[in-house]
A and B are shown apart, each in its own frame.
Chain A
Amino acid sequence: MLTYIVRRLFIAVPTLMVVSAIIFVIIQLPPGDYLTTYIAELQSQGEAANSGKIEFLRKQYGLDQPLWKQYVFWVLGMFQGDFGYSFEYDLPVSDVVGDRLWLSLLLNFSTVIFIWMVAFPIGFYSATHQYSWGDHGLTFLGFLGLATPNFLLALVLMYFLRIEFGISIGGMMDPQYVDQPMSWAKTVSIAEHLIVPVVVIGTAGTAGMIRRLRANLLDELQKQYVTTARAKGLPNLRLLLKYPVRMSLNPFVADIGNMLPQIVSGSAIVSMVMSLPTTGPMLIEALRSQDMYLAGSFLMFLSVLTIVGMLLSDLALALLDPRIRLGGRARR
């Protein structure tokens, strides 16, 4: 297994290095830089930009340095916990992101857990009761969940809860707890506000996961070893749990890598609709205003999530199902 981990890391680390370079180049691609945008904004408001100050800022933030030098400083800074400076907020990136990152992580991990908790029993039931009324009903709900855009679901739920129950579900906590230190009451408030966003963001993922789990489990159930085990009189539940369920867990595990970044970036629109103080809306704003270090740090965070997620899911898959595939050949 150590060999596998090392060889897999040998793909992950260079990928991360290449991705970081591409991110840096991409955020530099639009003509000008943040200060150019800043000057244009001042001019559009009829104010004159102080050229001395602009030059000073350009020098201070290293924008006058060659691109490769800026990149090296950025990467080395990240190892030291310094992600650069946000021009828009006039603060270090780590201070700007602050609580938003933790709230995003909380929201996204809650969503992943929600998807697994709901999809697993439903997928299991659908596969073991194929073509029953329950299976048809759950399949219908699954397709409905897949077809509904999550921002639309957010709008409908917000409208419905406001009109019918007079409840406002925007934000991640009650307004009185914003910028307050953590307390039990604040935790409860966050937990209450978490339910609707988790359901909204998790619906499509849950529906997709149910379909894949059902299909995989059905495939496994038709294999010869299941027929043999049944013929030998192995109890049904024990038989199911021993191998077919284990094998059909593969899509759950394989999805970790795709799910993490998709949820983070996919929740951006929902966060804007529901006024959630997560990282998504901030990323969009940073990209719009060419706040290069803030945008770059966000994109880097998404890339790290993707690569670490892929690494974790590959390691888990190697543990779960180290089987040769048809067409795959062992090397000596």
Chain B
Amino acid sequence: MALAYPARSLWPDYTRAGIGLAIALLPMPWVPPGSFGNWLLGLLALLFGGFAAMTWVKHRTTVQMSPAGIRTRGPVGRGIAWEALDRLALRFYSTRKERGHGWMQLKLSGGGASITIDSNLDRFDLVAARAARAAAENALALDPTTLANLESLGVWPVDSEAGR
């Protein structure tokens, strides 16, 4: 099964990167070189540049899930066999005080590789469910934050028959 980040979910991030770069780079001519303002704007430009690059990498990446493992194909391709999975962390981020309209990030590690998947990936819940099942099969100790987030997705406790 091959999954990708839908372009419509990435355009807001491209827009943020563009506006951020404009805010950081446009005032540069008026700021004396070497000043605090210059460093601050340079740092912001680097940050937004890095974010643009990261969004592009996501845009070009597909995630392939098979009974044997999970693999990303694209500029940064990596693979982890489910049997080798030794770490699973599911984080939730939101910029709002009431913690609404946030997004999740799934980090998988094993066999010397690590893969990070954001929740705007198509069928993210399937990936999280399969990873949770692999974690249960490998008897991984999951931290309370990850457990709470998996529960909120409805993929924990693992249903051993589901997703096979």
- Which residues of chain A have a CB within 8 Å of any CB of chain B? 2-11, 13, 76, 78-81, 225, 243, 314, 318, 321-325, 327-332
A80 and B31 contacting across the interface, CB-CB below 8 Å: yes
What's the least CB distance linking B32 to chain A, in Å?
6
Q: Is the interface of A mostly helix, strand, loop or mixed?
A: helix
Q: What B residues does A225 contact at CB under 8 A? A: 144
15 sample A-B contacts, Cβ–Cβ < 8 Å, listed by A number: A2-B54, A4-B95, A8-B95, A9-B20, A9-B47, A76-B30, A78-B37, A79-B35, A81-B35, A321-B145, A325-B98, A328-B92, A330-B102, A330-B104, A332-B119
4 extra interface residue pairs, beta carbon distance < 8 Å, beyond A322-B145, A325-B99? A10-B19, A13-B20, A328-B94, A330-B152
Does B71 make an interface contact (CB < 8 A)?
no
Given A76-B30, A80-B35, A3 contacting B13 (CB threshold 8 A) = yes
Q: By CB atoms of chain A within 10 A, which of B35, B51, B102, B105 has the most?
A: B102
A332 to B95, CA, bound (A): 15
What are the 6 closest A-B residue pairs judged by CB atoms, nearest first? A328-B99, A322-B91, A79-B37, A325-B99, A324-B92, A4-B93
- Shortest distance between the CB of A185 and any CB in chain B (Å): 31
Please state if B93 and A6 are interface contacts (CB–CB under 8 Å).
no
Complex CA gap A331/B119 in Å reads 7
Partner of A323 from the list B48, B54, B92, B95 (CB cut-off 8 Å) is B92
B109 at the interface (CB under 8 A from A): no
Q: Is the CB of B148 within 8 A of A11?
A: no
Q: Are A330 and B119 in contact (CB under 8 A)?
A: yes
Give B22 Cβ to nearest chain A Cβ, in Å: 11
Report whether A6 and B48 are in contact in the complex, using a CB–CB cutoff of 8 Å: yes
B66 interface residue, CB < 8 Å from A?
Answer: no
Q: Which of A13, A314, A328 counts the most B-chain CB atoms under 10 A from its CB? A: A328
